Amino acid sequence: MSNSSGNKPKLLMPASGKSFLIALAALSILWPVDAPAQKVIRAFDGDKGIDLAACRPETTRCGRQPEMGVAANGTQVVQVTWQNMLVFDYSGKLLRSTPLAEFIKAANLDPNPPDGKGPFEPHVVFDEFLGRWIVTSTCHSDCLLVSATSDPMGAWGGVYLSCLQGGPCLNRDPALHVGYDKNGVYYCGGHIGDENPHTVPKVAYDCFAVPDAEVLAIAQGTPPPHLNRMHNMPLDIMPAIDHNPHKAANAPEFFAAKTCSRAEPGGCQRSLNFPFEWVVDTFTWSGRNGNYSTGNAEQTIKTDVGSKRDKWLYNLPCCTATAGIRQAGSDVLLRSAESHRLSNLVQFGSHLYGALGSGPCTNDCGIQGADTNNVMFFVDLDCSNPAACVVSQTKKISGDFNPEFASVGVDAQGNLGIVAESSTANTDLSVLLWTHKKTDAPGLFNGPITVAAGTQPYTCMNNRNLALIGNAVGVLTLSDPADGAKLWTTQQWSHDATPCVWNTRILEYQVPGASSQK
């Protein structure tokens, strides 16, 4: 069914059903309520937080959100959080768990940023074109680590990419984003003092494009000689992940973000009824160098289908001035403010897909319509002309849920899935799934269904009476290299009553109707 505003899809099972779900979780496979309408292939628990009483705040980021990410190589699954780097087999059996700081040290890098409390905001991908794992993290500066083989339990090497060739180092919460395609690896991080005219003043991103052959050498600690660094990219810019094995050497890599209000501090997060537009940049290779489409060539794209008018209004995530959402069984609010940007960007053919989190519009909403809960805006950008992308389909996804940190996946046939976490006054933090078959009508999404039903409120208060959740630098969804019809992602859910003990769930799913692509 469509999940437009006003519909109330079934989100969670009643209390009696929760016990059944918990029993299934113990078997490492969690089948959703509506099966077989949606198909979850594998689901098992990932990393979890530690009791605040056991945390050492002088050296550890106590009370921080998990910042989870996951990828797979066909036989092994790797999850990273700010706390650990974990390796599983496909059954969910934990093969090895290493503190993220120790993992980074083993690659001959310093895991401690200036505050000395260890690494945070990691990402992991498995680049099937290289047969290598790649991990990014905020550490002494911006850590980029590459595995020496396809086995994540083997040797790794790393570099501080932004410090090379005279820097400057991105060592002040650079909020790293990573993407890749057949031609290279793309890497963006925050640069205080730089500026882009389409986002807020005095902060922007630097982006890097590293050719594949030089990424491989990082595994031996060899710095890449070609960085292709660009300053003044839009704040929160996200490089695309493109699994196309036939991509041409001169086909562009895409980067996307949203425009932000420059009229107020924190305008990317705190705006009200702001008619944002999409921002798109490209990088095109020429040998081991290339060119970005910045300056006058940077695209701003109106949000309605056909990109003739602005349709969507961005709002500060609800439901308080501090952007907290309710959860069942507790007065502690979950901080949703960081779900104000694209969590990821995926490419299929000439199309780019993303989902943007936003608070509801409550008045003067125009064609968008009013809501009471947080919403997300799905976008499909047709970039057949790379210099003139246009919205092909778009959808406001809203209802009796608060979708946070939405991550879009596209399989080898062009079918789409969106996975997000959500809680409400009647539900604990859970993981929801929406799907869109390539043959579905434009803008039609089936769901949501609940693929991990929260069982306890999550309480880990900061000085604003908020509990931090999710991953501020985004949550990736990646195709399974062994079968392109299957997609991997991870999210936070609430499954422990102990304060600050967060839980994560790892999912492999398949859009109904997709055929195996082995």
Least confident of 142-146, 219-223, 462-466: 462-466
Q: How far apart are CA 442 and CA 294, in angstroms?
A: 31
Give the pLDDT confidence score for residue 303 in this predicted structure: 98
Q: How far apart are CA 324 and CA 346, in angstroms?
A: 28
**CATH code where residue 433 lies:** 2.120.10
Nearest to 500 by CA among 455, 438, 458: 458
Domain for residue 211, yes or no? yes
Q: For the segment 309-333, what is each residue's pLDDT rounded down to a tens digit?
A: 999 999 999 988 889 999 999 999 9
Q: What global pTM score does this model have?
A: 0.92
Domain for residue 309, yes or no? no
Average pLDDT over residues 22-39: 41
Domain for residue 480, yes or no? yes
Q: How far apart are CA 215 and CA 187, in angstroms?
A: 12
Q: Domains in the chain: how many in total?
A: 1
Residues contacting residue 396 through CB under 8 Å, at least 6 positions apart = 4, 5, 312, 368, 369, 375, 376, 377
Average pLDDT over residues 73-93: 98
DSSP E strand boundaries for 84-155? 84-89, 94-99, 120-127, 132-138, 142-147
Q: Quick check: 234 and 228 in contact, CB under 8 A?
A: no
Domain for residue 361, yes or no? no
Task: Tell me 318's DSSP state.
Answer: S
Average pLDDT over residues 490-511: 96
Average pLDDT over residues 200-206: 96
Average pLDDT over residues 21-31: 36
Backbone angles phi, psi at 133, to 5 degrees: -90, 145
Evaluate if residue 25 carries a pLDDT over 60: no
**pLDDT band for position 463 (cuts 50, 70, 90):** low
* Local structure of 457: helix, strand or coil: coil
Domain for residue 111, yes or no? yes
Range of the domain at 107: 15-245+323-336+409-509
Q: For the segment 215-241, what is each residue's pLDDT rounded down to a tens digit?
A: 999 999 999 999 999 999 999 999 999
Domain for residue 147, yes or no? yes
Domain for residue 193, yes or no? yes
Residue-wise DSSP of 363-409: SS-GGG---SS-EEEEEEEE-SSTTS-EEEEEEEE-SSS--EEEEEE
Beta-bridged to residue 136, according to DSSP, are: 123, 144
Domain for residue 302, yes or no? no
Question: Which structure tokens are listed for 329?
Answer: 């069984």
Most confident of 53-57, 170-174, 244-248: 244-248
